[in-house]
């Protein structure tokens, strides 16, 4: 009988062990600096690329871990190129409309927005909104959040009318969910009011801000910073209304 030598572990299992080791170290993050955690994630990524190639699913997973660590360190300029590679890899491996691809595009878009590149972020966000609305529904919280980001990008590009329509959908979505007084809904209402003010529609803008002030006054108290900020915004919009 021929004795077989000890076989090497499959590459995928070997990488999984690398991830397990990294995860154990990450669980002790209170004992390690963010830079050390980043270095460990980068080590796993380099190992995966050597063993499995840059386009393998496990390399994409490792790349995502590095991007997450860069995000924690607020090193967005370094994070964005990785997010782009992750999105490209997922489009090729699981398809452009897969939820994991949409999540990757969303993360990439938020990086681009932070870097002041809305012209690149807006098509990504529009795709995320379109697909999430079709899969999860227009009133799903993830859809509404992505729609709010899309509106912000559109507004930064000077397309105020389009931004307004998106922001109105967000506000209406939270109302249909019965969450009109949630923090997200209040922020959405203020964003819409700001756009309406820029579109020289102070009457509707003031109505929305007044509702936010009333809700925050009742739920947070009159002296809460968020209540005071909304009150200052209302005063500004009211001044515009008087001037008009």
Confidence check: pLDDT of 226 > 70: yes
Contact 37, 63 (CB under 8 A): no
Q: How confident is the model at residue 239 (pLDDT cuts 50, 70, 90)?
A: confident
Could you give the C-alpha distances from 217 to 32, 85, 223, 234, in angstroms and in order?
43, 46, 8, 13
Q: How confident is the model at residue 32 (pLDDT cuts 50, 70, 90)?
A: confident
Token pair, residue 8, equals 């090497």
Mean pLDDT for 161-187 is 97
Q: How confident is the model at residue 242 (pLDDT cuts 50, 70, 90)?
A: confident
Amino acid 9: pLDDT:
44
Confidence check: pLDDT of 29 > 70: no
The Cα 64–Cα 158 span in angstroms is 32
Q: How confident is the model at residue 4 (pLDDT cuts 50, 70, 90)?
A: very low
Amino acid 26: pLDDT:
61
Amino acid 5: pLDDT:
43
Confidence check: pLDDT of 1 > 90: no
Burial status of residue 10 (CB atoms within 10 A of its CB: 0-12, 13-18, 19 or more): exposed
pTM above 0.85?
Answer: no
Confidence check: pLDDT of 46 > 90: yes
Mean of pLDDT over the chain: 90
Amino acid 135: pLDDT:
93
For 88-118, write each residue's pLDDT tens digit. 999 999 999 999 999 999 999 999 999 999 9
């Amino acid at each position: 009988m021929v004795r077989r030598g000890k076989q090497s572990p499959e590459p995928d299992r070997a990488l999984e062990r690398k991830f397990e080791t990294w995860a154990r170290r990450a669980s002790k993050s209170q004992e390690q600096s963010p830079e050390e955690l980043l270095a460990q994630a980068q080590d796993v990524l380099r190992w995966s690329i050597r063993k499995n190639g840059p386009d393998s699913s496990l390399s994409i997973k490792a790349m995502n871990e590095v991007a997450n660590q860069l995000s924690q360190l607020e090193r967005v300029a370094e994070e964005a190129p990785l997010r782009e590679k992750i999105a490209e890899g997922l489009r090729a491996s699981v398809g452009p409309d897969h939820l994991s691809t949409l999540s990757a595009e969303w993360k990439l878009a938020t990086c681009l927005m932070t870097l002041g590149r809305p012209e690149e972020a807006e098509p990504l966000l529009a795709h995320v909104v379109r697909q999430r609305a079709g899969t999860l529904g227009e009133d799903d919280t993830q859809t509404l959040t992505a729609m709010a980001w899309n509106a912000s990008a559109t507004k930064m590009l000077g397309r105020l009318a389009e931004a307004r329509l998106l922001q109105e959908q967000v506000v209406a979505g939270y109302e249909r969910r019965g969450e009109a007084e949630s923090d997200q809904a209040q922020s959405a209402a203020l964003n819409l009011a700001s756009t309406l003010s820029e579109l020289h529609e102070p009457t509707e803008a003031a109505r929305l801000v007044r509702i936010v002030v009333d809700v925050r006054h009742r739920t947070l108290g009159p002296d809460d910073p968020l209540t005071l900020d909304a009150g200052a915004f209302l005063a500004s919009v009211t001044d515009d209304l008087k001037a008009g």
